[in-house]
Amino acid sequence: MGQQIVRALLDDGIITKEGIGTLIKARPPKKITLENLIAEKVLSEEALQKFFIHKLQHGALTIGDIEAVEGVDIEPLFRKLSEELHVGYVDLDDTEIDMALFGKVSYQQLVRYNVLPFDETDLGIKVVFSDPLDMGAQDAIQRLFPLKPIQVFLSRPSKIKLHLQRLEVTQSVKGLIAEIRADLRDGGIEKEADESPAVLKLIDLILRNAIITRASDIHIEATEKNCVVRDRLQPGYC
């Protein structure tokens, strides 16, 4: 994607062959990347931001395409995008999500449009979209909340997807716990774990969640009334 962006910048005249020649002479045999172009002042961050916004508004790029570009500080770029698109910006890693909202909506719809409602106020429902320009998605999500207007926010698509995966795990765990309790009532403590499909499903779910989050270890701690499962995440994974 990075090399495609470089070619598009050349085609649009935002950078020039002479500028790239200067880069090659200054840092041979450095690969021509956005990071190097900015470092050598062949390309400014402001010009790159305007380029992304223009391409996004004209459908030539998606938010996901922009997130996939290497060598660019993504967070300031996404904040600038939100300003230009006149929507809010939220970093989901630093935001407390109102889990009660998910009892009011279809999880399948959220996955279909890659959106996440995260807060409710007197003025409306705050919803983060991976594509804030998708009016069809906005209309569909608004129908899920007929009593209040939705307020559109932007965030990184990968973070929305990760939170939706975690939500799926949470919902699945609740259902499996109910099944396991029913099994215990039927068979009591004499029932073996491998005789309970719900227990096997729960083990599978724990393993799948560890794979999704790229965990290196799984720690299961039994308490008097509960069981706590902790994953050790690899450094640098977001």
* pLDDT 10s digits, 132-146: 989 999 999 999 999
Distance between CA atoms of residues 20 and 9, nearest Å: 11
Which pLDDT band, with edges at 50, 70 and 90, does 68 fall under? confident
The answer, yes or no, to whether residue 226 has pLDDT greater than 90, is no
Which pLDDT band, with edges at 50, 70 and 90, does 77 fall under? confident
Highest mean pLDDT among 93-97, 155-159, 230-234: 155-159
pLDDT at 130 (0 to 100): 92
Domains of the chain: 2-81 (no CATH), 88-155 (3.30.300.160), 160-233 (no CATH)
pLDDT digits (tens, 9 = 90+) for 26-65: 666 567 888 888 888 888 888 998 899 889 888 898 888 8
Q: E-strand spans in 92-225?
A: 115-120, 125-129, 150-154, 215-222
pLDDT at 106 (0 to 100): 82
What is the pLDDT of the chain when averaged over all its residues?
Answer: 81
Q: Is 0.75 surpassed by the pTM of this model?
A: no
More confident residue, 14 or 206: 14
Q: What residue type is 151 in one-letter code?
A: Q
Q: Is 232 helix (H, G, I), strand (E, B) or coil?
A: strand
pLDDT at 218 (0 to 100): 79
Q: Which of 169, 157, 151, 190 is CA-nearest to residue 56?
A: 157
Whole-number Cα distances in Å, 173 to 5, 12, 27, 170: 42, 51, 54, 5
Which pLDDT band, with edges at 50, 70 and 90, does 238 fall under? very low
pLDDT at 191 (0 to 100): 52
The answer, yes or no, to whether residue 233 has pLDDT greater than 50, is yes
Distance between CA atoms of residues 96 and 24, nearest Å: 46
pLDDT digits (tens, 9 = 90+) for 82-123: 998 899 999 988 888 888 888 788 888 899 999 999 999 999
Instruction: Name the percent of the chain lying above pLDDT 70.
Output: 81
pLDDT digits (tens, 9 = 90+) for 170-192: 667 666 777 777 776 766 545 55
Identify the weakest region by mean pLDDT among 84-88, 149-153, 198-202: 198-202
More confident residue, 49 or 23: 49
